[in-house]
């Protein structure tokens, strides 16, 4: 179920509690000859995505409409007909903006039904990708609003995206997430709901899409997988409105990465193929290289060595074509050595330790930002242990642990735990000291 952020937003605007709404719905139901016995727990279920039966959605509209002093429709409170958000004609942009900004608001307020929502699977997970790839396109994204949006506003959003991305790389998603979500609510939402021409609107949606994608990365790094997925889906819809196929392909790469982490390997392969196919000439060598490398990892996990090696070859060829000055800001994460570390992981899954070690060495010897460096050292430690070089593995693990200090990241903590388990399992004399160093680092609360 999708959390009902629209209902949550109207509840907040109306200034009514869960118990208060339930009581008013029961009372309004009696006026219609209905016997209703709702309590606050029922409202909590509605906020989690459950749709009440019969006349109750209309009653909720009536009750909340009286409180906010305007007529509300079922779509206004997120209780429209099931499936209306994914109609064959795609998601209407105006309704999307309302739902998107409602999600940001609920995230900033740390609503449990939003922050703790699980990631969706099956058709709800695939549909946003399908809508991005297929017609119709948005013929006109202009909007009337009180706040007039101009190029300086768009440049501010681009600068903010770069700022929060750098913050994420240095301090992790846990620390960055609250800041970027606060910016989305305070600065971005008024612009998205403002007034702009079609041309300006496309630039605006492009800039907001890049910013929302970083918010999704921070949510993913904070273990809020369902929330991260919803941010990525938002970024996809914004990319479609902007007309920038490259931004959409970049966003799908983020979904591929999350799918790999969650063990959805076939989905990772399919999503990567969609991005490569649909973006076509608009995709850059850096993004192509990363998508092929992640496909290789997925195929390796599925035991399809032939397909994995084919994707490795494609990733390496694309990596050779990367020209830094010709890449968009979003693909800056594809730094020298990133493809090597992705390929090393795939080769490790295939059992080719020699080739995996060669790529891991190349990755560690290449410059990387702080976060990427930690991941590379963690993989290098794992490969060294598999090769029986425990002493070198311990030294690498110590360097990794020292570099991770000060970063607030669930993903990096996962890597630390995995390295610790491998060190303990190696039973090397020096591994106990390194394991204790990792333990002390993990005891620092996020």
Confidence of residue 86 (pLDDT cuts 50, 70, 90): very low
Confidence of residue 438 (pLDDT cuts 50, 70, 90): very high
pLDDT score at 332: 93
Mean pLDDT of 158-183: 97
CA distance 142 to 198: 4
Number of Cβ atoms within 10 Å of the Cβ of 178: 14
Confidence of residue 18 (pLDDT cuts 50, 70, 90): very high
Given a cut of 60, whether residue 87 has pLDDT beyond it is no
pLDDT digits (tens, 9 = 90+) for 122-151: 999 999 999 999 999 999 999 999 999 999
Given a cut of 60, whether residue 89 has pLDDT beyond it is no
pLDDT score at 75: 87
CA 349 to chain centroid: 25
Q: Give helix 93-108 / helix 173-183 axis angle, nearest 10°.
A: 130
Confidence of residue 426 (pLDDT cuts 50, 70, 90): confident
Confidence of residue 2 (pLDDT cuts 50, 70, 90): confident
CA distance 283 to 289: 10
CA 305 vs CA 66, 220, 313, 341: distances in Å? 62, 29, 12, 17
Given a cut of 70, whether residue 320 has pLDDT beyond it is yes
Please tell me the number of Cα atoms within 13 Å of 257 on its side-chain side.
19
pTM: 0.88
| 17-44 residues labelled b (16+ CB within 10 A) or e (exposed) | ebebbbbbbbebbeeeeeebebeeebbe
Q: Give helix 173-183 / helix 198-221 axis angle, nearest 10°.
A: 150
Among 389, 388, 392, 379, smallest CA distance to 419 is for 379
pLDDT score at 82: 62
94-103, 174-183, 436-445 — which one is most confidently predicted on average? 174-183
pLDDT score at 85: 44
Determine the 3-state secondary structure of 336 from DSSP.
coil
Given a cut of 50, whether residue 331 has pLDDT beyond it is yes
- Tokens 């948005």 label which residue? 138
pLDDT score at 83: 52
User: In this prediction, what percent of the chain has a pLDDT beyond 70?
Assistant: 98
Burial of 46 (0-12, 13-18, 19+ CB in 10 A): buried
Given a cut of 90, whether residue 430 has pLDDT beyond it is no
CA distance 298 to 292: 10
Q: pLDDT: is 13 or 436 the higher one?
A: 436
Which DSSP string do the residues of 382-399 spell out, in sequence order?
Answer: HHHHHTT-HHHHHHHHHH
pLDDT digits (tens, 9 = 90+) for 282-312: 999 999 999 999 999 999 999 999 999 999 9
CA distance 250 to 372: 18
Q: pLDDT: is 428 or 367 the higher one?
A: 367
Sorted by sequence, the CB contacts under 8 Å of residue 429 that are 6+ apart come out as: none
CB 40 within 8 A of CB 22: yes
Confidence of residue 340 (pLDDT cuts 50, 70, 90): very high
CA distance 332 to 1: 34
CA distance 114 to 134: 28
Lowest mean pLDDT among 68-82, 152-166, 228-242: 68-82
CB 91 within 8 A of CB 237: yes
pLDDT score at 218: 98
Any bridge partners for residue 195, and if so which? 148
Q: Quick one: DSSP state of residue 321?
A: T
CA 341 vs CA 251, 267, 347, 407: distances in Å? 21, 21, 10, 21
CB 311 within 8 A of CB 292: yes
Sorted by sequence, the CB contacts under 8 Å of residue 22 that are 6+ apart come out as: 38, 39, 40, 42, 43
pLDDT digits (tens, 9 = 90+) for 238-287: 999 999 999 999 999 999 999 999 999 999 999 999 999 999 999 999 99
Phi and psi (nearest 5°) for 196?
-160, 155
pLDDT digits (tens, 9 = 90+) for 28-85: 999 889 999 999 999 999 999 899 988 999 999 889 989 988 888 888 898 987 654 4
């Amino acid at each position: 179920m999708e959390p009902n952020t629209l209902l949550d937003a109207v509840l907040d605007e109306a200034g009514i509690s869960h118990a208060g709404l339930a009581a008013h719905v029961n009372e309004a139901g009696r006026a219609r000859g209905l016997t209703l016995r709702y309590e606050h727990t029922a409202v909590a279920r509605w906020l989690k995505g459950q749709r009440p039966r019969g006349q109750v959605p209309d009653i909720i509209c009536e009750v909340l409409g009286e409180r906010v002093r305007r007529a509300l429709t079922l779509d206004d409170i997120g209780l429209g007909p099931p499936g209306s958000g994914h109609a064959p004609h795609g998601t209407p942009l105006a309704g999307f903006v309302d739902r998107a900004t409602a999600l940001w608001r609920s995230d900033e307020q740390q609503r449990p039904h939003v922050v703790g929502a699980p990631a969706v699977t099956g058709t709800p997970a695939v549909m946003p990708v399908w809508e991005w790839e297929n017609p119709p396109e948005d013929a006109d994204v202009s909007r009337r609003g009180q706040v007039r949006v101009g190029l300086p506003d768009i440049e501010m959003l681009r600068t903010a995206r770069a700022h929060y991305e750098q913050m994420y790389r240095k301090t992790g998603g846990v620390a960055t997430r609250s800041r970027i979500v606060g910016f989305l609510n305070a600065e971005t939402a008024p612009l998205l709901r403002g007034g702009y021409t079609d041309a300006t609107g496309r630039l605006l949606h492009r800039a907001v899409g890049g910013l929302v994608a970083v918010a999704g990365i921070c949510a993913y790094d904070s273990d809020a997988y369902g929330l991260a997925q919803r941010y990525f889906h938002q970024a996809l819809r914004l990319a479609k409105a902007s007309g920038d196929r490259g931004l959409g392909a970049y966003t799908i790469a983020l979904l591929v990465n999350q799918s790999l982490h969650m063990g959805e390997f076939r989905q990772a392969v399919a999503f990567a193929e969609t991005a490569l196919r649909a973006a076509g000439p608009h995709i850059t060598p850096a993004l192509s290289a990363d998508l092929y490398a992640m496909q290789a990892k997925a195929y390796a996990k599925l035991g399809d060595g032939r397909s994995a090696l084919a994707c490795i070859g494609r990733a390496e060829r694309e990596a050779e074509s990367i020209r830094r000055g010709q890449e968009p800001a979003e693909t800056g994460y594809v730094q020298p050595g990133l493809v090597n570390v992705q390929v090393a992981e795939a080769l490790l899954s295939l059992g080719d330790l020699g080739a995996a070690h060669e790529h891991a060495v190349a990755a560690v010897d290449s410059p990387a930002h702080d976060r990427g460096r930690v991941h590379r050292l963690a993989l290098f430690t794992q490969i060294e242990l598999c090769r029986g070089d425990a002493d070198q593995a311990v030294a690498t693990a110590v360097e990794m642990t020292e570099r991770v200090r000060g970063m607030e990241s669930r993903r990096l903590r996962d890597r630390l735990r995995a390295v610790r388990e491998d060190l303990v399992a190696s039973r090397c004399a020096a591994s106990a000291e390194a394991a204790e160093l990792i333990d002390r680092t993990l005891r620092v609360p996020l």
